[in-house]
Structure 1
């Protein structure tokens, strides 16, 4: 059977004809079996999950990992098995953590399957029976009642006071009234298709019957599942920067090996020894501790964030939050409470409340209120101050027994119930204020009942319009004596304003985001006026020009949307694919986007965003599995803490990278200048690897886990997309300290030759130094000096790198005990290399006396002296920058 789409644009008769569903008994069993073979089971398809080997392999596809693996191979070649073991452990740790975080798309699909109901009430072969929902086929006739989940996409053919909660699919907070006779026009948004019921939504009131139009992956929820699957995983800004760094270091390592080896050949040095030294420098150029530091820093931040109600599902997303400059937030349940609340009763309060409680089908159950959220709001309003279990709503209903009713329908836009209190009988009506006012001949106020004149009716109409413009849902109420369901000649009582109130913490968070350079954008399935009113309350937007509907969005191409999107702050009546387009358009404009949400409809955009943030309490399993971060308290303000944590992490990782690279650059320049001036090598291959061991581990980790001033970081603008790790002076800092470390290391290397040449009256020239250092014993002493200063200077450098804008005397050293431990352990290890006989023999060093240690310590402390001098000069020329 060739099945057309767009059944919302077909009449009931056309739908029956197109789907071949008879009036008397639905499909025959034979035809249903045929269609089941043709369309497949009413289930969501599963993608084969990647194997463990495939997951592990994917974690190795990273430039920095390639460099580490090459460094590990070189270390084995040099006989440095300890270094190779460390590198292998780092790679294995990164891969293991990555594997644990994978598989989100598959889990999201599994959650989507759980959302589908397993049973359905179906007409087949003229009989009504309950069957497995997975066996439904297009053309089946399904009966729906209040409390049931819709088992497939249906074109309704009958509806009786039927309302469907579609918030998880469309984002609209209020249940949608369904009308089987409605016929949609071209381009009608999903949330306005009143003649359709979609898989996974819930019937909250009334009953109906529908013909299955789509099953499985062809349903709206199936389209979402497909979008989740097809949306590619985005790499985070940090991953991009580290990838670029890995590529750069790969080129640098190869270049160093080549240059130094060619220089050795040209200078007729020992080619074998220089080959080993060049390879050692290539290994030194790679900060093998960096991936481990990044992984550990992110893991520790996950533990901290868990304490503030944030669960991190994907480690790199924590750092990405620090770069976010746009937060796209779903309205219902995220910015608002997703709980209809009576904001105001405008009129005779006693009679108004009585009307809204009696003309009401909601009721208290064991686990809360059962029924339409709007009607439930009046029960909550009446019973919020209930004492001793005595609910006002129950007292009023007990006093006024319902004896007749006229259900709500979309044409009348009213509902009427008749109640008896003793000998008195009264009809109570609620509905659209304009409809009720037209049918009222009088009104009631605190002074009694009065005739309804034209001017008074106009006054009430304007008041209702004003209330509606504020974003609330307005209901009118009227009464009439006697058992009269005609809804004519009534007495107007007044109006009630209901709203889905904003969460109290959101307004302040939006304001703080604004100061931090983060734009908040609201994306919702609600109507434009309702969305804009909420946005105005939160100061997200202040004019209609900043609001765009899904229909307007459909009229724009991707390029046009990207050009206009920076002006828009509110998107209303949008569908799941609209949300993905919005996220992509923002990213095209350089945005690093965080998307919040809780519904099934949010899942594709959560996955498409740089950071997907799901609500843990009210959110669906689908949203949680598609997200990178889950807020366990559903508190929008928690995102602010997460953003601050992300900025702190990036600041720590950045200073760790600068420390490691400037230290390694110092090693490289020490060797480069020595070879350039034809000096003997100031360092042995073992010296280079040893220094790498003591500086690329604990000091780097101490910097990575340092405590930053998060409040100051939140006053800064987010870093720009593509911003280098060396921006804002990072590159200059790396080069300066690298050259300084090289200078003091070479100075230490030349101390002894300079004294000898000065005592003999000879000039300090490269040739003279090379001549003096022909003595192996003297060369070993000079290399020990250079080795010691190079290692210790990097430890001093680590202390200053904690904060390049604050004096070491004003830092809170007690706040980073790991740095204290790292420095003491580093000093102890370096001392052992020159004092412990076995290590002295292994590293071919010489023992040093107290005077030598004093001189070398002064030289090694130069990076810290330079740090203090920089702070002093900054204070002189820019005192505001160093002020507390």
Structure 2
């Protein structure tokens, strides 16, 4: 734990003031001072782990009111001697929990990414000498020495720099390496991405060398603050879980209400206690859709498996359906919407002249430290490899000729003071100076432009405007200059002639635009939240069609300046948030959630982790994503393609439709059982169905058809409609009306067959009970075909063409036959072999609902 307060805003202090505030000299700390500060500040490491314990994964499989209800039913059945019934219910619970545990265990990776960032070593000045120590032993005040390829071990204030560039994409989201400068002093309000005199833990040096003094270590670093936000970013309950829990709670009260009513009614009528108890247990079993947890779990699991084939890894089952409810996607730019690879976007020569264009190409190729590996891959700085890639494709012959003929004589490395680099080359007796760098600084160094065009004030104004225009389009702009010498010049950068500008861009992924259009059609709002420059973000947004007309862009610094209603007013309707911090991303996710939206958050960097965890569905990029982002997310896109997100959303919507269908199916079947038992009980007749028979039906003729409905392919036009209101329950008013209508019709035909058997044919109770059992069983197997709308053809609809449904029906018929023909089973279920006339009643009672419901739907056009 840190006991001392570290200095604030070190980027706003000079090097001397920083060293003074840290009470250290340029010689570094002594061993004694280091030990003292280690006691004060603690180790330079990040606490905590992102791994979910296996026991927690197991326990959350049981966290459902429906499972609680099943447990109660199992205990009651056992207490009253119905051992077989109790064992059957327990098996249902264990099967459901086992499936969920197995799948989630496979999907959750035990990655401890933040700790992996700490397993590094660093060169540090200790007692005036340069030594190598483990990075976890570093403390504020330590002076470290870094070079290209090093991972920065702690937040540090630059003291010295040489051609220093740092890749901060994982922290800020900016794809272009940042040129760092030690001597500059910044204002206190400078945003994280613009602090060019600072180095941050977890980022890496791509070019140059540096000496820096550590100002923050451990949890006080920027990445440490992010790790704390990840831990504190509590995720709201997954919408499907929440709705199923609400549904389960209502079911509990319904079941208890029915039991109390019948106990009271039976007691008042003076019925035998055993009859009252038998009816209560039958009603309890009928009210509980035992198959619901299993079918929901398997349906979601199948969705998980299907998405895995589309390069989407789902870590939690219920997150599959959450995708279908998502109506806001907050997406990072770099690597998510873009290729995360710079390319040459625009070439603006100073004159349309062959000599100028040739020299411009030579400057781009020769003023370049890139190399080509044995495999033909380009290696080096992203800007320089982009130049080689461009000219190698544009003029392959000239590219190779330039590289082969010209030999380097000398180099002027990039320096943050002059802000350009230059090289001197020789070919035969000719010398060639080439340079590239900041347009303002390089223009100031040039003596003329092109073929002896004078550099006047008007010329400078014109090219400054060119530079500003390219920057407004979101391009990184470099200027190029060269000069041919007949003899070796006095200086590498002597007598340079300005040749023009080249603009670089991390381009949008080619497939993103269509995916964005599909999201808009589906009523999904896409918002870009990036640490990159506003102009760069806007350029990408226009490429992908993020918004029509004028784009509303909010700078991260503006978010810090406002609060309350003014903050919300500014955020509302915004398309782009640029230069945002991790905390601001977290704020945005919370804002949209508080306004009733289901929020998906995409990201790949450490900076995205808190918002990924807080969002309803965190979506991490698998290729470019950090392990920290993957740990915080609910799903991982392995191919980093935005199109995969759209596929996942489509699958989520299909799954929700399937879940709604099989819940309607299960509830209408269970309500039929309740109505059959309750009406018979009110009429004081024998029960048409026994508790164990109802349980058998719930676990056989309910589960398999419901499971088949959960595996349907869904409506092909599911993405042409806006996402449903996340506040809506799983079943709306029309769904409940359909459930009651289905149940009433099936109850009518089942009771009609039962009473015809008892009162007109004078069948025994066992015979009539068997008729009711098989009538209801077959009616339930036919019932899925009632779920189609009146406008659909009976033979040409997704349900009729669902091959899994036909397999389920055949399987259930086989199981019913086994239950009837196997002596042990028919004895447990109290079944008698039906007479031929009884089979006729069974067929009529089970098939009649299909025709009656079809007629009702035609009349009501539902």
Contact 1:550 1:571 in 2 (8 A): yes
Q: What is the deviation of 1:432?
A: 2.9
Corresponding residue SS for 2:483: strand
Corresponding residue SS for 1:158: strand
Q: What is the deviation of 1:345?
A: 2.3
Contact 2:11 2:188 in 1 (8 A): no
For residues 215-274 of structure 1, the C-alpha deviation after alignment (integer angstroms, 9 at most, x for no partner) is 122211111222222222432111011101110111111111111111111222222122
Q: What is the deviation of 1:94?
A: 4.2
CA distance in 2 between counterparts of 1:113 and 1:103 reads 22
- Check 1:648–1:401 CA distance in 2 against 1; reply closer, same or farther (3 A cut): same
Confirm or deny that 1:371 pairs with 2:380.
yes
CA distance in 2 between counterparts of 1:302 and 1:130 reads 47
Confirm or deny that 1:791 pairs with 2:777.
yes
Contact 1:805 1:871 in 2 (8 A): no
- Check 1:268–1:532 CA distance in 2 against 1; reply closer, same or farther (3 A cut): same
Name the residue aligned to 1:65: 67
Q: Match for 1:465 among 453, 468, 473?
A: 468
Contact 2:410 2:492 in 1 (8 A): no
CA distance in 1 between counterparts of 2:573 and 2:308 reads 35
List alignment gaps of at least 5 residues for structure 1.
Answer: 757-774, 879-884
Contact 1:267 1:678 in 2 (8 A): no
Contact 2:235 2:615 in 1 (8 A): no
Q: What is the deviation of 1:819?
A: 1.7
CA distance in 1 between counterparts of 2:592 and 2:546 reads 16
Q: What is the deviation of 1:795?
A: 1.4
Q: Match for 1:819 among 805, 826, 843?
A: 805
CA distance in 1 between counterparts of 2:143 and 2:419 reads 28
Q: What is the deviation of 1:97?
A: 5.0
- Check 1:279–1:753 CA distance in 2 against 1; reply closer, same or farther (3 A cut): closer
Name the residue aligned to 2:353: none
CA distance in 1 between counterparts of 2:553 and 2:53 reads 45
Name the residue aligned to 2:233: 231
Name the residue aligned to 1:862: 848
Name the residue aligned to 1:114: 116
Q: Match for 1:357 among 365, 372, 385?
A: 365
**Correspondence 1:536-555 to 2 at 5 A:** 536-542=542-548, 546-555=552-561
Name the residue aligned to 1:736: 741
Corresponding residue SS for 2:165: strand
Q: Match for 2:677 among 664, 671, 678?
A: 671
**Correspondence 1:442-841 to 2 at 5 A:** 442-444=448-450, 448-452=451-455, 456-482=459-485, 483=489, 490-542=496-548, 546-557=552-563, 560-709=566-715, 711-727=716-732, 729-752=734-757, 755=760, 778-801=764-787, 806-811=792-797, 815-830=801-816, 841=827
CA distance in 2 between counterparts of 1:547 and 1:861 reads 62
Q: Match for 1:11 among 14, 23, 36?
A: 14
CA distance in 2 between counterparts of 1:625 and 1:816 reads 37
- Check 1:494–1:549 CA distance in 2 against 1; reply closer, same or farther (3 A cut): same
For residues 747-792 of structure 1, the C-alpha deviation after alignment (integer angstroms, 9 at most, x for no partner) is 2222245647xxxxxxxxxxxxxxxxxx8x5444443333332222
Contact 1:21 1:139 in 2 (8 A): yes
CA distance in 1 between counterparts of 2:139 and 2:824 reads 81
Contact 2:111 2:627 in 1 (8 A): no
For residues 620-643 of structure 1, the C-alpha deviation after alignment (integer angstroms, 9 at most, x for no partner) is 222222222111211111111111
CA RMSD of superposed structures (Å): 2.8
For residues 500-557 of structure 1, the C-alpha deviation after alignment (integer angstroms, 9 at most, x for no partner) is 1110000000000100111111111110111011111111135665111111111233
- Check 1:580–1:10 CA distance in 2 against 1; reply closer, same or farther (3 A cut): same
CA distance in 2 between counterparts of 1:106 and 1:694 reads 32
Contact 2:99 2:298 in 1 (8 A): no
**Correspondence 1:26-425 to 2 at 5 A:** 26-47=28-49, 52-96=54-98, 98-99=100-101, 110-347=112-349, 348-365=356-373, 368-384=377-393, 395-425=401-431
Corresponding residue SS for 1:138: coil
CA distance in 2 between counterparts of 1:122 and 1:673 reads 85
CA distance in 1 between counterparts of 2:785 and 2:202 reads 57
Contact 1:46 1:109 in 2 (8 A): no
Corresponding residue SS for 2:607: helix
Contact 1:702 1:816 in 2 (8 A): yes
Q: What is the deviation of 1:843?
A: 4.1
Corresponding residue SS for 2:413: strand
CA distance in 2 between counterparts of 1:604 and 1:107 reads 18
CA distance in 1 between counterparts of 2:107 and 2:208 reads 36
Q: What is the deviation of 1:374?
A: 1.1
Corresponding residue SS for 1:694: helix
CA distance in 1 between counterparts of 2:398 and 2:201 reads 37
CA distance in 1 between counterparts of 2:256 and 2:45 reads 54
- Check 1:27–1:735 CA distance in 2 against 1; reply closer, same or farther (3 A cut): same
Deviates more, 1:378-387 or 1:598-607: 378-387
- Check 1:675–1:840 CA distance in 2 against 1; reply closer, same or farther (3 A cut): same
Name the residue aligned to 1:763: none
Contact 2:434 2:483 in 1 (8 A): yes
Contact 2:669 2:702 in 1 (8 A): no
CA distance in 2 between counterparts of 1:229 and 1:102 reads 20
For residues 271-323 of structure 1, the C-alpha deviation after alignment (integer angstroms, 9 at most, x for no partner) is 21221221221122111111111111122222211211112222211111111
Corresponding residue SS for 1:526: coil
Q: What is the deviation of 1:398?
A: 4.4
List alignment gaps of at least 5 residues for structure 2.
Answer: 350-355
